[in-house]
Amino acid sequence: MKNLLYLLVTTLLAILYSCSSDVKPQRPNILFIPVDDLRPDLGCYGDDFAVTPNIDKVAEQGVTFTRTYCQQAVCNPSRASLLTGLRPDTLRVWDLRTEFRNKLPDVVTLPQYFKENGYYVYGIGKIFHNIYPDTISWTEKPHVAGFPFDPDAVYLNENNIARQEEKKKIYIEKGIDRIDQLGYWYIKTVAIENADVDDDAYFDGAQTTAALKKMEELAKKDQPFFMAVGYYRPHLPFNAPKKYWDLYDRAFIPLAENKSIPENMPEYAMNRGNELRSYEDMRDLPLPEGVPFKTEKQRLLKHGYYASVSYIDAQIGRLVDGLKKLGLYENTIIVIWGDHGWKLGEHNAWCKQTNYEIDTRVPMIIAGANVSAKGLQSEALTEFVDIYPTLCEIANLEIPEHLQGSSVVPLLQNPHQQWKTAAFSQFLQGRFGRMHANHEGKQYMGYTIRTDRYRYVEWYEWDKSNTKGALTDRELYDHQDDPGENINIADFEENAQIVASLSDQLNKGWRDALPD
């Protein structure tokens, strides 16, 4: 009898084990959140002035990467690189005008790869560059009714709306077409708006409401989802509801400490701030080598930036609350990233578009499901091309062989381990904005390597056929002594050996810097 009972029990256990071994673990959802022009001015990055409680709470559930770098500090190349997992020279996208599908039509993007592996892939807002939504990548690509496809210049104050209408009439009379892909007029007037309105009056709030409705639908589907919600603020214009402006006392907003261009810098290495100067209230923007804006104007711009960041922080909080209410939070990976840095008076400049730390260093937070390290920071050198392979591994998908980054999943388990020896970025100066007259409109490609201690840059002539020419300049900044990158020491005789070593590392490229 005992033998019969033993046989029965072991047989049942074997059947149960066999059945359970056939059950595949539930695949995690992905909440993918790009934020336009977001630099690491967040509470979880040590900014005590920024009011970002919702992003900070996300960071408590994962790893905050304090030394992540974009591959090129302007929207289209940065996003194309991240979303394809390829570096700019491989993708051959270096400016705002080039669509990556025209260069590599068959490349499989990050959301597309998840779609091909059984995920329901939904995107809303700015994920790829504004005018290149890449419909191939999505299961569906919705549009929020009542807003332009590129809502950078949505104004709500009566004076600004009236000014837009005046400019619209002038354009029509001159035969100038200022209409976007979906038939909306959008005209820049002022760089800052403080309107006493609800969150949904601007696009970022409205799209969050739309995303939450979609989240409810996705929760009912019998498949995991990849939801990308791309936010436009804090991109210019700094238009945000008044309640977010009220979070800050402008008189106490800290200003940039290094208000001068780097000493010994090649003069074409710094952008000229044309993006900000294109707004009517910023026509007097000085060039970097000029006299800085008056303090009041610097504070106004930083106030607008901080208010815009807090506005987006609130929207991210709404998304996370939506996950929790639907019972999705425990099985969702959350990725928050800003596509490049942004100067707020540093080097007496504004906006992005350089190879300097202030423009290439970016926020990246990975939290939630399958992240064992909680509330920790990693100082490992990481790059945006690492996101694609990371999400593949964390979702138990095979990592495509063509990717040019490294999965950071080991850092999500142990954030303090040894990692890459360098991160790589580049920028094509001369294709953006106004050059100095003595450069006669020439283009220069700057390649930069960021190691634990140094930033080193090599500049090359770049002709119209996108061919690398002669080496023209070098830059070297020692972050141990000069974290603001204020003195280029590349030509100092005592640094010759350091320059030679870094040049060799730079030219060996990213593969030689990979973690063991």
Kindly give the pairing relationship between strand 62-69 and strand 382-383: parallel
SS3 string, 386-455, reads: HHHHHHHHHCCCCCCCCCCCCCCHHHHHCCCCCCCCCEEEEEEECCCCCCCHHHCCCEEEEEEEECCCEE
Taking Cα atoms as reference points, which of 493, 509, 395, 495 lies closest to residue 447?
509
- Helix, strand, or coil (residue 25): coil
Q: Name the H helices within 86-239.
A: 88-91, 100-103, 110-116, 158-174, 203-219
What does the DSSP assignment read for 317-359?
HHHHHHHHHTT-GGGEEEEEEESS--EESGGG-EES-SSSHHH
Does residue 75 have an active-site annotation? yes
Report which DSSP code applies to 46. Answer: T
- For residue 291, give every residue at least 6 positions away whose Cβ sits within 8 Å of its Cβ, in sequence order, or none: none
Kindly give the pairing relationship between strand 361-368 and strand 120-125: unpaired
- Strand-pairing partners, residue 496, are none
Task: Catalytic residue, from 44, 70, 75, 351: name it.
Answer: 75
Q: Is the peptide bond before 234 cis (omega within 30 degrees of 0)?
A: yes
End-to-end CA distance of the chain: 59
Task: Catalytic residue, from 44, 129, 235, 340: name it.
Answer: 129
CB-CB contact of 507 with 454 (8 Å): no
Q: Which residues are catalytic?
A: 75, 129
